[in-house]
Every structure is written in C-alpha cells, then in structure tokens.
Amino acid sequence: MVKKYLQFIKEAMDDDKVDSSKYAEIKGEIKSMIEKTIENSGGEFASFVDKFAKEPDEVKIEGLINDSDLYDFYLKFRNDIDEMLNDLKFFGSAPSEVNALGLYDYLIKGTQKAIEETVKLLSEEKPTEEPAEEPAKEE
C-alpha cells in the first residue's frame, strides 16, 4: 500500500505511540483475562488497570504470570505484538538494554512490554456505560 507523503510525515511525528484503534483482538483478550482475575480476587476493572499501568511488575494478570504463559500468548498474538513493538521502536533496542540474556528472554520481555502497552490502551478507553435499569413503577 502506497501512503501519501503527508500521512507518512504525520506517522513519523507520532513516534513511540500506539494507535489505539488497532489491536482490538489482543485488547479484548487481555480485557477478558483482567476480568477473570478480578472475578477470582476481587476489585474493579478501572482500579486494576490503573494499578497495572503504574506498577506492571507488582500486579499480575491471571494467565500471564509465568514465562511459558507469556510465550503461549506471544504465539497466539504474534502479529499484533510484533506490530505494536515495532510501533514502540522496541526492536531498535539491544537485548542488553532490556535486560535480556537470550532470544527467549528477549521475546518474553517484548511480550511483557506489549501487554503493558495494551493495558495502557485499555486505561485510555472510556468505559462503556450501560444504561441503568429503571425501577419498576408501582401501580
């Protein structure tokens, strides 16, 4: 696909930002994993997402705790994750810069970075408000 020059320049100016309209599938999966975590341990979605965005090393999402879970998640969403990491210029950093000792560790660190970015995208979204049920009228 050929891009217009102005579109190319505009995209170049938005370095290190991820387009929030993309990645609907990965956002949906992480959102459901967060909801499952909240269901099992309590809390509310907005506060969990805010806390995760501030302290990603301290807050764990059920199903994304172990390295093997992260690897499986990467395999499932590798196209979205690779595109997101490319948008973030992650691949421009050497493994030593992200504290990775090997290829597997680099992949895990990249997947963690993509998950953190996805949670940030979720925190930026406005929650969809469901209309409150009207009380039944007494006759």
| 59-109 tens-digit pLDDT | 999 999 999 999 999 999 999 999 999 999 999 988 899 999 999 999 999
- Predicted confidence at residue 25, as pLDDT, reads 92
Question: d(Cα 37, Cα 41) in Å, to the nearest integer?
Answer: 6
Neighbours of 69 (CB within 10 A): 16
- Phi first, then psi, for residue 4 (nearest 5°) are -70, 150
Decide if 3 is inside a domain. Answer: no
Q: Is residue 101 part of a domain?
A: yes
Residue with the bigger pLDDT between 23 and 70: it is 70
In a domain, 1, yes or no: no
pLDDT at residue 124, as a whole number: 84
Count up the domains in the chain and report the number: 1
Structure tokens at 62: 């059920």
Q: Which domain holds residue 98?
A: 22-124
pTM: 0.74
Domain contains 131: no
For residues 61 and 37, the answer to whether their CB atoms sit within 8 Å is: yes
Does residue 118 fall inside a structural domain? yes
Q: What is the DSSP code (8-state) at residue 96?
A: G
Write the pLDDT tens digit of every residue in 104-137.
999 999 999 999 999 999 888 755 544 444 455 5
Non-local (6+) Cβ contacts of 122 within 8 A are: 27, 30, 31, 34, 49
| Residue matched to tokens 């190319």 | 8
Kindly tell me if the per-residue pLDDT of 10 is higher than 80: no
Is 134 part of a structural domain of the chain?
no
Provide the pLDDT for residue 130: 44
Does 35 fall in a domain? Answer: yes
